[in-house]
A and B are shown apart, each in its own frame.
Chain A
Amino acid sequence: MIEKIDKFDKIKILKGEKVGWHRYTYGNGEEIFFKNLIDKKFFASKCKNCDKLFIPTRIYCEDCFEEINEFVEIKELPYIYSYTFLFKDLEDNDLKEPEIVVFLKWENVEGGLIHRLKETSIDEVEIGIKVEPVFKEKREGNINDILYFRIKK
């Protein structure tokens, strides 16, 4: 005998929230990438087995499953691999100006970075064009040490 439900005002909802926060250590691998951001440098890991380069840095090659202990500086600028435009914020309010989020890759390097593109209008954005980083004055070893990227003129 299943009870028939017809009194919906009696069905209750209980509200609650998740509390607590997280502290993540970068680990042996990514710490090298972020430490070098302080010096405005981009570093990649190099696997001695397959010669592949990885950004951000890591201490193992996921294909060869070998430990990596060689890290090299990448001096070239990254290029736009893909992009998207944001017109609303996380609370669904309209943004005054659309924001540009890009996925950047470096030539001959596996992996890449997601970041924001500024000082650029929507029609200037094109896959393949090179971009340069604009750094903060005071850097701490954090992805936001890079304020944003802009198209290299």
Chain B
Amino acid sequence: MEFKGTPLKDKDIKEKKVFYVDWHVKANYAWDCGIALSYFFEGLKNGKIYGRSCPKCKRITLPPRMFCELCFHPTDKWVLLKDTGRINTFSVSYLNWDASRREKPQVPAVIEIDGASEGMGILHLIAHPEKIEWENLDEVLKYIKVGTKVKAVWKDEKEREGKITDIKYFIPIKEEK
């Protein structure tokens, strides 16, 4: 069997052995947040996390949504949740959005928020409880694991904009026995 294809090396492009054309485009978007997230973001501006309950399956959903996608039924009530939670899973990232390397790692995590149904998580970042920035992987693993309790750290009230970043990050906290 003969397989076709011409793999190129970086220098084929650099030395212009192969012809190419570049295209830069700027595309700007203005997304309507929708009913549910608009209310949710207003809540964040006021330092509160809201979920929404489904009258059929009784789930308290987070992120809140106007219809429960499992029952396919409209949700009906806003529920004020706590700003603490538990780490469902986490990672220690040495990459930026464009695949360039970071010197100090970032810790994204899925956090199950207290007050919402079990397993209702949101994506956010975990910071070092005192220094904020993590030094390296080993330091992260000393403080957190799956199941660690965490608490949100909010921006100052006047700096909040009604965005997910109104919560700066979550930090690990000691459990009360």
Contacts and interface: CB of A to CB of B under 8 A. Distances in A.
Chain A in direct contact with chain B (Cβ < 8 angstroms): yes
Interface string B73-106: 0101000000000000000000000100000000
Contact of B30 (A15, A19, A34): A15
A17 B20 contact: no
A83 B8 CA distance: 39
A141 B19 CA distance: 7
Contacts of A18: 25-29
Contact of A3 (B32, B42, B66): B66
A26 B29 contact: no
A140 to B, nearest CB: 8
Interface stretch (B33-41, B117-125, B133-141, B147-155): B33-41
B136 to A, nearest CB: 29
Interface in B1-58: 6, 8, 13, 18-33, 35, 37-39, 41-42, 55
**Chain B binding surface, main DSSP class:** mixed
Interface string A3-18: 1010000111111111
A14 B163 contact: yes
Interface of B: 6, 8, 13, 18-33, 35, 37-39, 41-42, 55, 66, 74, 76, 98, 162-163
21 contacts: A1-B74, A10-B38, A11-B32, A12-B38, A12-B41, A12-B162, A13-B33, A14-B31, A14-B33, A14-B163, A15-B28, A17-B26, A17-B27, A18-B28, A20-B98, A23-B13, A24-B21, A24-B22, A26-B18, A31-B19, A34-B19
